[in-house]
Amino acid sequence: MSKKERRRTRISSTIDKLPDDIKTELDVRLADTANTYEELSAWLKTEGYEISKSAIGRYAIRSTQAAQRVAETLQRTQAIAQAVEAHPDLDYTKAASMVLMDGLMQRVSTAEGDFQEMPLDKAGRLIASLARNATYEKRVRQDMKKKAELAFDQLEAELMAAIKQHPELAGELHDVLSRAREKVLDDGED
């Protein structure tokens, strides 16, 4: 990729270099739609900072986009929390993955141009990350299944030792534990 084709991903503007108190005041004034960029540029000039109305406009767009991304992230987090709260048996890692995948698919469907410019290695990293997440989820399920099997084996051994004098109870207990084991392990297959 030649230098002319390189796309800037980090933006540093003159506004980012302003002192925090001036930048905070600018953000407050930007929130008031009655202020024009030209008026804000004039105000900054009286404060001793020569910043064009175009620079203020670009900063306002970036700030709005960042605020929208934060709001979207909060909505996704709330969706995960509500899903887990409404369905306590729901696997929250699966719910989080589904919400993230939904967000990614929305981005993909609305950002064709961005993906044309996306380097192949970055796209590969995104795909690999999703694949790792799926692999991790499978591994967690397998670990939980193994732990459940070990717990059932140990429970059965302890209970059988406790009631070995009553063979009829031992048979019934074995049947109950087998059904419980089957139900627990089958429920983990989702």
Q: List pLDDT tens digits, range 102-146.
A: 766 666 666 655 666 666 677 777 777 777 877 888 888 888 888
User: Cα 48 to chain center, whole Å?
Assistant: 42
Question: Which H or E run includes 92?
Answer: helix 92-110
Query: What does each C-alpha distance from 74 to 77, 90, 98 come to in angstroms?
Result: 5, 20, 15
Residue 120 exposure: Cα atoms within 13 Å on the Cβ side: 1
Q: What is the dihedral of CA 49, 32, 54, 64, to 10 degrees?
A: 110
Describe the chain by its helix, strand, coil percentages, rounded to 5.
80, 0, 20
Tens of pLDDT along 167-179?
778 788 878 888 8
The model's pTM: 0.45
What type of residue is 79? A
Give per-residue pLDDT as tens, 88-102: 776 667 767 776 767
pLDDT score of 4: 54
- pLDDT reported for residue 155: 81
Domain spans in the chain, listed from the N-terminal domain onward: 11-86
Cβ atoms of 80 and 99 within 8 Å: the answer is yes
What pLDDT band is residue 151 in, cutting at 50, 70 and 90?
confident
Residue with tokens 């059965």: 156
Q: Is 59 exposed, middle or buried (0-12, 13-18, 19+ CB in 10 A)?
A: buried
